[in-house]
Structure 1
Amino acid sequence: MKNNKIIKLLGETILPGESKTIDVEIAKLHSMTKLKIPVIIERSKVDGPTVLFSACLHGDEINGTEIVRQIIRKKINKPKRGTIICIPIINIFGFINQTREFPDKRDLNRVFPGSKNGSLASRFAHFLVTEIIPKVDYAIDFHAGGASRFNAPQIRIVPNNLELKELATIFNAPFTLYSKNISGSFRNACTKTGVKMLLFEGGKSLDLNEMVTQEGVEGTMRFLKHLDMLNPKKELTVFGEKTIFIEKSNWIRANFSGMFHGLVKIGGFVNKGDVLAMISDPYGKVEHKVKAPNDGYIINVNDAPIVYQGDAVFHISTQLEI
């Protein structure tokens, strides 16, 4: 079916079969230097859905940017039908400063839907909700763990949504976690406007990981194939083991401060009582064991060499979907 519909985005017209990069300027640096955020749009001549791939909502989560970069570089964003919008870096201010927040110290992922006249972060959230999201049918937002905590590649979806569960099954990350939308989050704003969003988590802040990137890119290809949007020139990776759905999970926290020595691999299954890590003093006198409180999969590991009492050191599944 031919696509005769004209899409207008950010004041620009994108015709069927057209490729366009639109540079968006929200605000300047304090030095008056302009900052532009490229929004990369690829349209097929054949009608179909509009999909958004976004990353770096938190400016230090650059592994997501690498996933979207590879999607563009490998021309996976050139759809068989429909439209694909890529925004590799949403929080350009945090990306430049290698920080999570905006310069106003606000977490962009807690201020949606934002305000036209609010803080800098709020204004940018308002821009996304009013200019981008109304054009989108499906979205994948790529994230990474914060504060030296490494996430196993995983998709997060709200419970009791069969369509999102199907999409998560198709994406087939090693794990899929059920988690409620957080008020003020990008995912919550998309849900309220009818956009079907998968949230991808993988790796840690200020880090690039080849395994995480591969999982993100291959899952995206399967996602597009399911929507009949994948460029037929692209080879689809064969499914491996099926994603493990996790209904409930808990954080294991350090009971002592000290040097942290992790002993288990991310994504592995452990049994109750297994020693997961040692916390030691720097003088060779004291060592404390961190043990698994239950059987489960380790879906996040703290890579920090030093931890304090109360720090989250492991994220472990407590209940799997049967």
Structure 2
Amino acid sequence: MGKVAPLTILGQVIKPGERKEVSFNVAKLHTQNSIDIPVIINRSKKPGPTILITAGIHGDEVNGVEIVRQIIAKGINIPKKGTIICMPLINVFGFIQMNREFPDGRDLNRVFPGSAFGSLASRVAHQLMTEIVPHADLVIDFHTGGSRRFNAPQIRIVEDHPQLLELAGVFGAPFILYSKNLNKSFRNACFKLNLPILLFEGGKSFFIDKNITNHGVNGTKRLLAHLGMLKKNFKASDPKKKTVVIAQSSWIRAKYSGLFKASIDIGDFINAEEVIGNITDPYGKFNSFVRASHSGYVLNVNHSPIVYQGDALFHISTQLANDQNTTPETI
């Protein structure tokens, strides 16, 4: 067995078998108070991969923060072998202000890989990509739906990537969704480095859902167990149902403005022309049923009680991966 070398992150040396919390300096406030992000690093004395677990790239996506918090609080991040790096909250500015963006108005997840001389968000992205990411062999990045849209628990990966598909299958979320890497996103920046990254989506902004949290924590345990990193005092339970791999999907949008109420649940399988919600006016004079344009699994439901014409209401699968049969069952 090879000797495990010390790890140096942000100027701090973390020895094998050591736990250390280092400070990722974001910026200073106008008052010159320093804003630091804790980076929690746990190392085993045994050699193994380095896993980076992140959340809170968007400040309003608190369910992801809760997932990583539980991973740390329960000691799941203490590896049997290798190293686990946890960053539960990257966009601390947005978190404090209950806002998605950085104070400069930029979306952190649209400025990667960033620049040492760019905007505040760009500088944070650059520091993450140069100081933390190069140490990782695998990244798990936790997100939620935005704008009151509730995502079913899902792992998003690019199509035709066997390694990512295998890892996503091990994670065991109810859905795997093939989606292209967005330009200047964290996922795309890692992908360009040939660094495998699993993007977990589940729940909605400003909300902590127990079921979503459990999916995130349990999926992480399965992945760590698969890599031989989960300690024996933890059990990685099998998913209750087989993961459904979605090849294509589309949105059903509001034909009218008004009060909106969905009549189906996340993960349901719906049939074409089925009534899945309704839009009314405040005065009891108007009622329009929302019908499914096609059959598929419900991946996202808009939880806003008021919608405008053209708003996205439901995200529905349109095609499953080639090796799957369409089996109507609720996830």
- Tell me if 1:216 matches 2:181: no
| CA–CA separation in structure 2 for the residues paired with 1:148 and 1:3 | 49
Deviation string, structure 1 residues 232-266 (Cα, Å, up to 9, x no partner): 11122133211100000001110100001111001
Q: Which residue of 2 aligns with 1:231?
A: 231
Deviation per residue, 1:55-106 (Å, 9 max, x gap): 0000000000000000001100000100000000000100110100000110
Q: 1:166 maps to which residue? A: 166
Structure 1 stretches of 5 or more lacking a match?
A: none
How big is each residue's C-alpha offset from its partner over 1:15-56, in whole Å with a ceiling of 9 and x where there is no partner? Answer: 000000002222122333322100000000000000010000
- TM-score under structure 1 length normalisation: 0.99
Partner Cα distance (2:135, 2:265) in 1: 41
- Is the 1:94–1:103 Cα contact (8 Å) retained in structure 2? yes
Task: Identify the range of structure 1 (264-273 vs 21-30) with the bigger mean alpha-carbon deviation.
Answer: 21-30
Deviation at 1:6, TM superposition (A): 1.3
Deviation readout 1:180-211 (Å, 9 max, x if unpaired): 11110000111111211000000000000000
On the 8 A contact 2:44/2:79 being kept in 1, the answer is yes
The match for 2:255 is 255
Q: 1:4 Cα shift?
A: 2.6
Match of 1:6 in 2: 6
Segments of 5+ residues of structure 2 without an aligned counterpart are 325-331
Q: Is the 8 A contact 2:10 2:23 kept in 1?
A: no
Paired AA for residue 295 in structure 1: S
Q: Secondary structure at the match of 1:203?
A: strand
Q: Which amino acid aligns with 1:213?
A: T
Indicate if the aligned counterparts of 1:300 and 1:315 stay in contact, CA closer than 8 A: yes
| Matched residue type, 1:117 | F
Correspondence 1:202 to 2:173: no
Output the CA distance in 1 between the equivalents of 2:234 and 2:265: 32
Q: Tell whether 2:103 aligns with 1:103.
A: yes
How many residue pairs align between the two structures? 322
* Secondary structure in 2 matching 1:46: coil
Q: Secondary structure in 2 aligned to 1:25?
A: strand
Q: Match for residue 278 of structure 1? A: 278
Cα deviations across residues 268-322 of structure 1 (Å, max 9, x unaligned)?
0000001111100000000111110000001100000100001111000000112
Q: Which portions of structure 1, spanning 4 or more consecutive aligned residues, are displaced by more than 6 angstroms?
A: none
- 2:133 aligns with 133
Instruction: Give distance in 2, aligned partners of 1:2 and 1:129.
Output: 28
Q: Which residue of 1 aligns with 2:328?
A: none
Paired letter, 2:187? R
The percent of aligned pairs where both chains have the same amino acid is 57
Amino acid at match of 2:31: S
2:149 match: 149
Partner of 1:39: 39
Contact 1:256–1:279, Cα closer than 8 Å, also in 2 = yes
CA distance in 1, matches of 2:20, 2:3: 17
Q: Which residue of 1 aligns with 2:311?
A: 311
AA of the residue aligned to 1:245: V
Instruction: Tell me how far apart the structure 1 counterparts of residues 153 and 3 of structure 2 sit (CA, whole Å).
Output: 36
Q: Distance in 2 between matches of 1:126 and 1:9?
A: 15
State the match for 1:113 in structure 2. Answer: 113
2:56 is aligned with 1:56: yes
- For residue 36 of structure 1, give the secondary structure of its aligned residue in structure 2: strand
The answer to whether the 8 Å contact 1:3/1:16 transfers is no
How many Å apart are 1:2 and its aligned residue? Answer: 5.5
Whole-angstrom CA distance in 1 between matches of 2:208 and 2:214: 11
Q: What is the aligned partner in structure 2 of residue 20 from structure 1?
A: 20
SS of 2:69 mapped into structure 1: helix
Contact 2:58–2:91 (CA under 8 A) maintained in structure 1: yes
